[in-house]
Amino acid sequence: MTKYTIIFLVLMATVSAYIFHENKKAGERFLNENNTEDIIIPVVTERDHVLGKTSAKITIFEYSETECPYCKVFHSRKNDLLEEFDGKIKLVYRHFPIATHPRSKEEAVATECSYEQGGHSSFWKYIDEIYRITPSNNNLEETDLYRTAEKQNLDTERFTECMKNRTPEDKVESDRVGGGIAGVYRTPSFIFHKDGQKKTLLSGGTYEQVREMILLLLIDER
């Protein structure tokens, strides 16, 4: 290795260290400016739909609805995040139907009717399929809700009765109200909660923005 090669490598290491330090400072400034300690988030219960390890340092509360095209895009890639940050994040899905997509509330009820038959695994299987097939923007046909239930081998009579009685509507409304109290007003929105302390709200976030936020929160561990 020549003298010039050594000098070059030292310079590169110095520059890399400087860039990392500046990025870390910028990230910390962003988190401090957007950290909202007074965000009130309903505690996670066994009724919540959660993906990821319970011991994860970062909890991401996702407020979404199935007729939102941006929610559809994020939902299709959520497993990429869970795989990349395995053990470091967990995702809590909460319903946030909005007035401009009136069908989203009915669809949220349908996902919970699925849960009532098969628990969380049934919920995720059902909602994954709804996100997959919906054209978004209030264009999913109501018949698709029942067709999906049948396709997933749910008891269709029980499912129809659940939809008729709207038994799980309280859960959907509780999610929506809780999101509103926390400052959510659009979809998808994400609340990041690290180590039970820092809380950061990202409104209308994309997959890339969610990923960047996770990297910022984990910057001390890199």
In which band, very low, low, confident or very high, does the pLDDT at 119 lie, cut at 50, 70 and 90? Answer: very high
* Choice among 29-33, 54-58, 175-179, 190-194 with the minimum mean pLDDT: 29-33
Q: What is the pLDDT of residue 40?
A: 83
Residue 11 sits at φ, ψ, to 5 deg, of: -60, -45
Cα–Cα distance between 137 and 71 in angstroms, integer?
11
Burial 84-120 (b: 16+ CB within 10 A, else e): ebeebbbbbbbbbbbeebebbbbbbbbbbbbbbbbee
Residue 42: CB atoms within 10 A of its CB come to 16
Please give the DSSP secondary-structure letter assigned to residue 36.
Answer: -
Inter-CA distances, 152 with 2, 34, 139, 142, Å: 66, 42, 21, 16
The answer, yes or no, to whether residue 100 has pLDDT greater than 60, is: yes
Cα–Cα distance between 106 and 169 in angstroms, integer?
9
Residue 95 sits at φ, ψ, to 5 deg, of: -75, 140
β-pairing verdict for 58-64 and 89-95 = parallel
Task: DSSP for 73-138, please give it.
Answer: HHHHHHHHHHHHTTTTEEEEEEE---TTSTHHHHHHHHHHHHHHHHHHHHHHHHHHHHHHH--SSS
Cα–Cα distance between 219 and 149 in angstroms, integer?
42
Q: What is the pLDDT of residue 220?
A: 64
49-221 is a CATH 3.90.180.10 domain: no
Q: What is the pLDDT of residues 32-77, one digit of tens each?
A: 444 556 788 888 999 999 999 999 999 999 999 999 999 999 999 9
